[in-house]
Structure 1
Amino acid sequence: RLDQLLTGMAMLGETTPRGRDAALAVGETLSAHLAAACFQGAFRDVREVLRTDDRFGKARPQLDALRAAAVPWREALADGALWLTQGFLGATAEGHTTTLGRGGSDTSATLLGEALGAEEVQIWTDVDGVLSADPSLVSEARPIPQMSLGEAEALSAFGAKVLHADSLAPVGRAGFRLVVANTLRLGASRTEILSAPPLRAGGEVTSVAYKEGISLLRFPASAGLDVPLDAARRLEEAGALRFGLIASPAGTLLAVRPDTPAAAKVLEALAASGLPCESGWAVVALVGEGLRTDPLAALRHLAALGQEPIGGLLTGSSTVSIAFLVPESRLGDLIPRLHGRCVIRGQEHP
């Protein structure tokens, strides 16, 4: 099958998103067959149940169709069957193979957990659960035994690589436990992500997260809101991630991360038009359920920033995090300092 797909692509001298998805599915399917033989279980093709739309390369699940298709699986598994299947893959109503995009394997696991009525879904990765900070910057980073879905969503948004936002949505809808554990260290700590928030002291911060590669676009007050909103739309359609849109009487600040070549080209065009554009920024977030119970704690934690050059504060619908913009060059010093002040000292002396 793979030979046929690649031969066809070579003859045409090009490929299509649908063709790429079909080729990518071959390796994932072979791996699942090998795993089934290893665990002495039965292979079942996830494309039997995981229905998606036809946005090849980044397909979205069709939840009603998925739940309906999963009924036979749910009944068989209730009788004790052991099945192994692929991650990352789905299929349209017409049977065409799709892929779920970044984080797709974790997302397919939680989608199946939701459709099958699971009490717990486990994601086995290469880290000891979710940590309180990036261990490459913070040697004192510690595992978080339990965290709320809100905390997990905030960490995912602000840079935690072990979690992907799409994989968390089924947890909120179905309410099962999501466990993150280390494949290489079975006895190591792990993190449970719960739909009901665990008990936190008022003002307690669970973790510090950051995301690099942020660019700032500054619009004059005379541009109003329509111009920055149009720029944000163009950038997002090209694949950029928007981290903030701050409007004030002095003008509007747009913070984006151009994650694709297309988004980088749009950003270059905006800068070439004369719009002030600054690269080399990062967004830093303090995350914790304690911020929900003591909103004023966020202001106290910000005092730890001292004289740091802050590009702006980012607020949103989440009440479990506070985020701000800083130069990337300050991360190596700032992240350990915030972790020591807001996480370690805050938990030891609430």
Structure 2
Amino acid sequence: MDVIALVERGTPPAQLPGVRKVISTVGPSRVTRLVRVLSAIRWCARAGYRTYFLRYSRFLLVMLILTYPFFRHRIFLWRSGTADLMDGDRRRTVRHRLEDLFGTLLARCVHGFVTGPESMVPIMRARWQVPAHRMRLLYNDIDSDRFAPLPPAVRQETRRRLGWDETEFVVLFVHRLSFRRGTRLLVPYLDAVRAELDRPVRLVVVGDGPDRSYLERLGRDRADLHLMGPVPNRKLPSLYGAADCFVMPSYEEGFPRVLLEAMSTAVPLVTTRAGGSADVVGSGYPFLCDVGDLPALIRMTIEVARLTDSERDALGARMRERAQQRFSPQHVAGMLEDIL
């Protein structure tokens, strides 16, 4: 398959493995972006490219829909989750309703609406009113060579470097710091887990977002709450590998990649059933609770902390095997090829 990558945001790499050409449409203004996107679409048409696969990009989606009468390309749009839902007690405004209507109109103009995992297909179909024959299933993938368990000596050295004592039970949270990700549950969660365990507990929070200041205020002068802020992706595998447990208390999700990262690293995880999370970990996973059920999150974390070494190793090996088989890049590439 011959592939061109169009990059709309950030600093694009000069080249990507398996990609013939990387085209940047990043610009200092909307006018510049518009010109670059139109130029890229025209170049792709002349070079014989007729299929576009987009992840979320509304600007490029609008441009592709508007230029379809001229170039007759196919458009496949990936979306998963309901991140446009309101947080907490906020109410929907006229602007939100108009954006919903606009998003629905755009979704119905694509040739294929792509989402995953399985439980998100009917949710996304109903949310965006997409005809059933246009729905497609596609997984996220995980590089299990990068996200892999650390050898014991490396794990011990990593914890020492991070300032995590070997006697501590370290719980890791990696996600956007927002209401919908359950970040406001983290401090009461930590306090309850600490009260139940007979060993020191540390909660390590990685990420950025609107709730960061909220957590910083509550975590001031607390040695058991380690707020690391945003961390480059290349450094994440060692954090997963050094942790004892991963927690995801989300109210809303789609296809959470952080679960795949924890699974691939063989770290036991505790998560809610938000979005497609149950599909990711498997329906038989023992540490899966209802959305918003803080007592269950606490109880399951304590159960993880009390696992024997052999029980922990067996659970981690099982989850890593699931990640390697079901969500490997090779398997997901095959799914995408079938779609395209």
TM-score (norm 1): 0.29
Return the TM-score normalized by structure 2: 0.30
Instruction: Choose between structure 1 and 2: higher strand proportion.
Output: 1
